[in-house]
Each structure stands twice: as C-alpha cells, then as structure tokens.
Amino acid sequence: MTLQTHPSSEGGLARGLSSPLQPFDIGHPSHIAVVEPDTAFWGLVRKDKLSEALAGGPLLDTYHAQADNFRREMEMLRFGLKPSAVYFNPTERCNLNCSYCYIPEPMRRSGQQMDQATVLDALERLHGYFRGHMPEGRLPQVIFHGAEPLLSRTAIFAGIEAYGDRFRFGLQTNATLLDESALSFLTERGVGVGLSLDGPNPGVADRTRRRWNGDGVFDHVVRALDRLDGYPGYNVICTMTEANLPHLTEMVEFLHARRVPAGMLNVTRCTLPRARGVRGDDDRVAKAYIAALERTHQLYRTSGRKLVVANFANILIAILAPTARRLMCDISPCGGGRSFFALAPDGDLFPCSEFIGLPAFSGGNLFRQPIEEILNAPAFRRVTGRRVEDVPGCDGCPIRHFCGSPCPAEAYEMNGGMGQKGAFCRFYEEQVRYALRLIADGRHEDFLWDGWDDGTVPSCAIGAA
Ligand code: SF4
Ligand code: SF4
C-alpha cells in the first residue's frame, strides 16, 4: 500500500489551469488542506501560497504523476474487497436495556438463540466460505456480537474450542457475565475482548447502560477491566451521548489509568428512534471528542504510554494510507456486506449487525443458501452499492473519502433513504479537520498504534511545517 501523504507546497509557476484540487480549511493558523476528492489525494499548503499551489507546481505535478495509482487503490478498496470477517450474533437476547441499542426491544427481551449444534454448524459453513478466497496463512475473523453473546456462552465457547485454528475470534460483551473462568478461557486462547463502558463512574456510565430493572453495571465492567490488565487483546467502547459528553476527558483519564491499550469513542448510531433521544449535537460531540483526544496526547507525553482511540486512529490512517485502515464505517460503500457481514441467530445474513432489526435487509439464510448468493442479493447490493458521491450534500464534499457519510442504516431509518446523509456530518468534518491539523503540526504519530505503517510504502515524507 502507499502512504498517501504529501509535503507542503510553496506553490508553482504554471498559472491559469483549472485545478483538480479543492481547498479545505482545517482551522490551522498557517496551513490549509487541498484535496482531490475522487482519489483522496491531499496536500497541506501555506495559506499565503494557496493560489499558486492550485495553479501549478510541485503539488499538482505530484498529483498528476500519482493520480492513476491512487484512483486504482481507492477503486480496489471501495469495490474490490471480499469479506474477511463475520459478526456472529448467537442470540438476540440481552440482560441489559441500553438506551441507544440498535436491536429492537422485543428481540432483546425474548428473541431467538442458537444452540451449540447450530453454532458449530454455522462455523463450519463460514469456514467453507472463507477457505474459498482467503489467502494462505491469513485467518478470517469471527466476532461474537450481540445483544449479549455470553448469554450463549456454552455454545460459543464450544465453537472457539473447535475452530480456534481456523478463525481469529473476538467477543464484544457488556461484561456482566465475564467471570473469572470465562476470562481465563478467552485470554488463554488469545480471543479479542471488547467491553462497553460509557463513563468513568457509575453516575455517568449507568445513565445509558442499565439492566431491565434499571440497575447499573459499572462495577462489573471495572472488575473485568482489572482482570484484563496486561492482556494485549482488549479494548473499551464508549458511546458518546448527551449523558456523557461533559465527562469524556475524565473517561480517557480513567481508561489510561487502568492501562487500557485501546478504546473507541463512537458516535451514537441513530438507526432506532430511541437512540436519537440521547444522541449529542454534532458540535458539542466534536468539541468534547477533540478535548478527550488532546488529553490522551498529554497523558502519552507525560507517561510514555498510549491510549489509542482506535476510531480516530483509523481516520488518521484513512488520510495517510487509505488501504491500511482497519475499521470500515468511514468509507463508502462502508464495510457492511463487502468486507464483513453479520449473522443473526436464525441464520439470516445481514450486511452489518446495524441492520439486524430491519428484516428488509436480510439477504438470505446461511443454512439454506450459499453465502456467495446471499452477498449478491438485492438487500446486500443496496448497501454495497451506496456511494458517497451520489449522496446530496456529499457529492461536492472534498473529504468524502475520509468520511463516507455513515451510516447507511441510520440514513435509511432516520433520514428517509440510503441515498441520504447519516446523522453526524458536521462531526465528521470537524474530525477530519482536527486530523489534518495534527498532521500539519507533526503530532499525528502520537495518536497511532506503534508500527501502524509496517508494510506501507511512503511516496514521500510529510513536511508540512
Ligand atoms: S457526511 Fe458531511 S463530511 Fe461526510 S462526506 Fe457527506 S458532506 Fe462530507
Ligand atoms: S456504517 Fe453502519 S452499516 Fe456500515 S459498517 Fe458502519 S455501522 Fe455497519
């Protein structure tokens, strides 16, 4: 893959040509970004040299020299991938009633659940599918997801035991059922563990994540965090809502103090109406998020230890080296249905877990149809064919390939169709501005995993000072 970075330009000599590069103000005192939206080629130029840079010179020369390569890379990333992961939902049920959950309440109260034989049968079919196209030596990923997957603990642990050499396993859990023996089982087998926690104390965390009777679960999560201390394969997802925005900085301090290696600060997915009731306003979310990211930077500088905010690191990587990105929400088409898909407890396949409450997006059933056929079903093609350049308002946006206008499920449910924007346009814009400011100031590496660019080929070094 290529590092899609560029040195600052002092401008060029050739004038009078119409430039393919669009200026994008990043709120930096001395620099502005210029972007060619289709290839995601970008550069940082001094504001006083902008018109010269747009007219010609080294920046445009580099663009013209590399545009075809970048275009091909983007095309491959957007349309040439095959699935390498599955979000495996063994149960629709959950012992919590979180305020922004995308799974409808009747399903979470008393929905379907797979038994052990069904989990094993599903894994065998998935293995057969992935074996057909995954490169030798690379294992596909199965992430047990929910609702709460540990309600099917016996079945999924049998699956991990039987298929540990054929998949890389992960588990996303609310931590309430993560006892000592479950943690030993998972950590001894190198299973990735994702925990959900929305605040640094019960007063904040329990506002959004509660049992059906209203009791909070903060203490359970903290016990699990303490037990996982030192295990490299875990992370914490914090969903940003109106309820915790004033506490995000405290939240990253809390996670850093517990030596959590990576976290995510996710926007609320507004697919279901209830989630829209707790979503934060774009500008307030952006402000609190950037303040929290700045705090992670200070903590790194004073302690030498990083708390990587993975969803933000992914945006930086999307800018620096698009094909190295790891998460697939901030690109269009998004990863749903093309780099991964989701399995529901009745065997139906959906492009992403976010669609599981929307029956129109079931592409077919794993136990009755070949997976290749399901991935080509109209329900999947609606998602895999959603292109940001076709979305009104995004069609002229210079940063559309660093954003992708997520999420198609919420665009469909909340804004009247897949062809509309998702819920957080201004937040995504601010996030990209901040990422480019960090690059302009040479601070971006501090927000990334060490070794994030192993295997990348730099096209040129960043020299944006
Ligand atoms: S949602 Fe907003 S930031 Fe994202 S591509 Fe569309 S216009 Fe740009
Ligand atoms: S944008 Fe939405 S549908 Fe696509 S991968 Fe992300 S959550 Fe799933």
Six token digits for residue 97:
């009633």
**CB contact set of 221 (below 8 Å; sequence gap of 6+):** 174, 175, 195, 196, 197, 205
Q: For ligand 1, what atom is nearest to the CA of residue 428?
A: 3
Q: For ligand 1, what atom is nearest to the CA of residue 405?
A: 1
Q: Do 24 and 64 meet the contact criterion of CB atoms below 8 Å apart?
A: no
Q: CA geometry: angle at 193 spanning 304 and 259, to 5°?
A: 20
**CB contact set of 316 (below 8 Å; sequence gap of 6+):** 435, 438, 439, 444, 447, 448
Tell me, what's the pLDDT at 260? Answer: 95
Q: CA geometry: angle at 328 spanning 235 and 411, to 5°?
A: 110
Q: What is the pLDDT of residues 120-179, one digit of tens each?
A: 999 999 999 999 999 988 999 999 997 899 999 999 999 999 999 999 999 999 999 999
- C-alpha 434 – ligand 1 centre gap (Å): 15
Tell me, what's the pLDDT at 310? Answer: 95
Tell me, what's the pLDDT at 448? Answer: 95
Residues paired with residue 45 on neighbouring β-strands, in sequence order:
9, 32
Q: For ligand 1, what atom is nearest to the CA of residue 388?
A: 5
Look at residue 7 and tell me whether its pLDDT is greater than 80: no
Q: What is the pLDDT of residues 350-405, one digit of tens each?
A: 999 999 989 999 999 999 999 999 999 999 999 999 999 999 999 999 999 999 99
DSSP SS3 for 173: strand
- C-alpha 408 – ligand 2 centre gap (Å): 7
Around ligand 2, the residues with Cβ closer than 6 Å are: 269, 328-329, 334-336, 352, 354, 406-409
Helical residues (DSSP H) of 22-139, grouped into ranges: 50-55, 58-79, 105-110, 116-131
Q: For ligand 1, what atom is nearest to the CA of residue 422?
A: 1
**CB contact set of 74 (below 8 Å; sequence gap of 6+):** 38, 39, 40, 322, 401
Q: For ligand 1, what atom is nearest to the CA of residue 406?
A: 1
Average pLDDT over residues 41-51: 95
**CB contact set of 33 (below 8 Å; sequence gap of 6+):** 23, 24, 25, 26, 42, 43, 44, 45, 398, 436
Tell me, what's the pLDDT at 292? Answer: 98
- This prediction has a pTM of 0.91
Q: What is the pLDDT of residues 201-225, one digit of tens each?
A: 999 998 889 898 889 899 999 999 9
- C-alpha 328 – ligand 2 centre gap (Å): 7
The DSSP code sequence of 89-116 is --BS--SB--TT-SS-HHHHHH--B--H
Which ligand is the nearest neighbour of the Cα of 418?
Answer: 2
Look at residue 3 and tell me whether its pLDDT is greater than 50: no
Pick the residue with more confidence: 103 or 47?
47
Look at residue 59 and tell me whether its pLDDT is greater than 70: yes
CA distance 31 to 27: 8
- C-alpha 99 – ligand 1 centre gap (Å): 26
Tell me, what's the pLDDT at 107? Answer: 84
Q: What is the pLDDT of residues 313-340, one digit of tens each?
A: 999 999 999 888 888 999 999 999 999 9
Q: What is the mean pLDDT of the chain?
A: 91
Which residue is associated with the tokens 């992935």?
130
Please state the φ and ψ torsions of residue 35, each to the nearest 5 degrees: -135, 140
388 C-beta closer than 6 A to ligand 1: yes
Tell me, what's the pLDDT at 97? Answer: 86
Nearest CA to ligand 1 atom 2: 425
396 C-beta closer than 6 A to ligand 1: no
350: phi > 0 → left, psi -120 to 50 → alpha, else beta; which? beta
Look at residue 100 and tell me whether its pLDDT is greater than 70: yes
Tell me, what's the pLDDT at 99? Answer: 80
Tell me, what's the pLDDT at 458? Answer: 41
Pick the residue with more confidence: 261 or 102?
261
Q: Which helix (H) or strand (E) holds 375?
A: helix 371-375
Q: For ligand 1, what atom is nearest to the CA of residue 424?
A: 1
- C-alpha 410 – ligand 2 centre gap (Å): 9
Tell me, what's the pLDDT at 455? Answer: 60
Look at residue 459 and tell me whether its pLDDT is greater than 50: no
Average pLDDT over residues 103-112: 85
Q: How far does Cα 171 stand from its chain's mean position?
A: 16
Average pLDDT over residues 82-93: 95
Look at residue 4 and tell me whether its pLDDT is greater than 50: no
377 C-beta closer than 6 A to ligand 1: no
Look at residue 271 and tell me whether its pLDDT is greater than 70: yes
Rg (CA), the chain: 22
Single-letter residue type at 57 = G
